[in-house]
Amino acid sequence: MAAALRAVRRWGLVAAAPPGLAFTRSAFVVKKANNAQPNWLGVGLAFSTSAALWAFLIKEYNEDVMEYERRKQERRHKCTGCS
């Protein structure tokens, strides 16, 4: 791969960049990350979303277990006079 890139450069097959665009920054790099001041709003949103999803998951699990137990009790009940 590296040999192919060297050959392309040597034979001049790479288009030269216009002079004004030689030192432009990427559109995705807005600013350097400042690790001294974290984005507390983003951190809070991430943790609160995670906690809310876990709470929902645990609630759904408990409801499913209760439904399972209820249906298991119904299967055991074989009284013909109730129906």
The reported pLDDT for the residue numbered 54 is 98
What is the per-residue pLDDT for 34? 81
Q: What is the pLDDT of residues 6-34, one digit of tens each?
A: 765 666 555 555 555 556 656 676 777 78
3 state SS for 51-66: HHHHHHHHHHHHHHHH
Q: Mean of the pLDDT values across residues 50-63?
A: 98
Which of 15 and 81 is assigned the larger pLDDT? 81
Mean pLDDT to the nearest integer, 29-43:
85
Instruction: Report the C-alpha dihedral over residues 69, 70, 71, 76, rounded to 10 degrees.
Output: 90
For residues 52 and 34, give the distance between their C-alpha atoms in angstroms, rounded to a whole number.
Answer: 28
Q: What is the pTM (predicted TM-score) of this model? A: 0.51
